[in-house]
Structures are given as structure tokens and as C-alpha cells.
Amino acid sequence: MRLTRLAPLLLTTFFSIGAVQAAEVQVAVAANFSAPIQAMAADFEKDTGHKLVAAYGATGQFYTQIKNGAPFEVFLAADDTTPARLESEGDAIKGSRFTYAVGSLALWSAKDNYVDDQGQVLKHDGFQHLSIANPKAAPYGLAATQVLDKLGLAAQVKNKLVEGQNITQAYQFISTGNAELGFVALSQIYKDGKLTSGSAWIVPAELHDPIKQDAVILDKGRDNPAAAALMDYLKGPKAAAILQAYGYQR
């Protein structure tokens, strides 16, 4: 008789523990990584039971929001310096930071055969607008300015630059035809080993500083099991396969 009365209690306790274990993690995601993290989200939830809620934007803007108390628990940045800075300033958990991806920059046009595979189109005067992300807030924008400096083209194209707040807006300027071409993250135009649309030049890595993208658990995620689970997932083989599909390295 006592066992019969105990069974519902044990069952209730079991499901209560499961409910406590499942958690939600608020993630600030660099705009260039929006497609890969969306591809990972469902798989992450299936594997761990935790839910990932992402916001997308420029790394520099996220830094300001985090310093002003935004409720983010994990930060997937587009560089390695901003997470390190947050860590040194006490806004992130020491020892949690690691490089989750190394990005590639591409010169892209929505038009087929517009951008050649050497980027020589930049040296011609046949375009009116060149889109880049804000170099003060977006690491891919900074990399674009480094490329133009290395090629000796910064002065030549200065009056043609159209700046997006982040790499997503820079991409939108090109995709809508408001700019004939521009610098984007390779992941925005590449999937499973091929270009998804238009024409592009994958910029050689030696023309800009490495785009090392670091992840870090922020102070608000200190006690959230979903934050720790996401960091583990990003280090695993399933995430690695998705990274490769979008043209990232580790």
C-alpha cells in the first residue's frame, strides 16, 4: 500500500527534476554567424533539452549593450579582442573563452560574373557603390578596410563606400542592388562548398588580420547550465560540420 502511494510522488519528482534541468540561454551572436547558429539551434535543443534564444548584431554594439546590463548570458563575437576585454573587465567568466570559429572575408556581388576570382574589379572604375560593415563596430568591416589599404585602393574607393551598421546590413545593400558589390562574410554567401548566388572573390587571409571569433560565458550566464552546454556543443563534432559547411575554420 505504501509503495502504491509513493509511486506518483516519485514520478512527479522525476519530471520536476527534468524541468529544472532544461533551461534557456540568451545569446548575443555576431551578425556573420546568424545562419550557422540557426542551423545549430534545433540540434542543440534536441541533444541537450536546452533552448537557445539568439539576438544578432555588430560585435561593438553588443559590447556596449552588455556593459549597460543587457540580459545576454553567452556572447559569440566576430573577434577575439572584445570577449577578452569583457573578461578582463569582470563581465565574463574567466576561463570560459575560446575561439569557436575563424571567419573568411569575401568580395561579393549579387550579379553573376560581376566579381572576378582575383578581385580585379576593385581596381576598375565601373562601380558606384562599395558596401562594407562599419569598421568601428564590426570586425568584418575592419578587415575590409585592411584589404583596401593593403591593395592601395583606400583613397580610390573612399567616396564610394556605403557602410552598414553590421555585416548583415552590408550584405543587404548588395543583395538589393543599392551597391554593386561589397565585402561580406563568406558564410553569408556560401553553403556546402559552393557559392549560393552571384559572384565572389574569397579574399586571401594574408590581406587582413585573422578573423578569430571567440565565445565567452557572460556573468549573467554563470549559473545557467544551458550556457555551459552551448559552449560544449560549439566544441563538438556536430558544430564543426556546420562550421565547415558555411566556410569557417577552427
pLDDT, tens digit, 9 for 90 and up, residues 26-79: 999 999 999 999 999 999 999 999 999 999 999 999 999 999 999 999 999 999
8 A C-beta contact, residue 31 and residue 168: yes
> Are 200 and 109 part of one and the same domain?
yes
Is 17 a member of any domain? no
> Are 185 and 197 part of one and the same domain?
yes
Q: What nine digits make up the cell of 21? A: 534541468
> Are 110 and 41 part of one and the same domain?
no
Residue 125 banded pLDDT, cuts 50, 70, 90: confident
pLDDT, tens digit, 9 for 90 and up, residues 69-106: 999 999 999 999 999 999 999 999 999 999 999 999 99
Is 10 a member of any domain? no
8 A C-beta contact, residue 184 and residue 164: no
Is 12 a member of any domain? no
Query: Which structural domain range is residue 233 located in?
Result: 22-102+211-245
Name the percent of the chain lying above pLDDT 70: 92
8 A C-beta contact, residue 167 and residue 188: yes
Q: What nine digits make up the cell of 204? A: 586571401
> Are 116 and 191 part of one and the same domain?
yes
CATH of the domain at 148: 3.40.190.10
> Are 201 and 186 part of one and the same domain?
yes
Is 250 a member of any domain? no
Is 8 a member of any domain? no
pTM reported for the whole predicted model: 0.86
8 A C-beta contact, residue 166 and residue 134: yes
> Are 164 and 215 part of one and the same domain?
no
Is 1 a member of any domain? no
> Are 167 and 230 part of one and the same domain?
no
Neighbouring-strand partners of residue 155 = none
Is 159 a member of any domain? yes
> Are 189 and 220 part of one and the same domain?
no
**C-alpha to C-alpha distance for 151 and 11, rounded to whole angstroms:** 67
Residue 157, CB-side half-sphere exposure with 13 Å CA sphere? 29
> Are 217 and 95 part of one and the same domain?
yes
Total domains present in the chain: 2
Is 172 a member of any domain? yes
**pLDDT score of 4 more than 80:** no
> Are 183 and 147 part of one and the same domain?
yes
> Are 151 and 198 part of one and the same domain?
yes
> Are 109 and 199 part of one and the same domain?
yes
pLDDT, tens digit, 9 for 90 and up, residues 227-239: 999 999 999 999 9
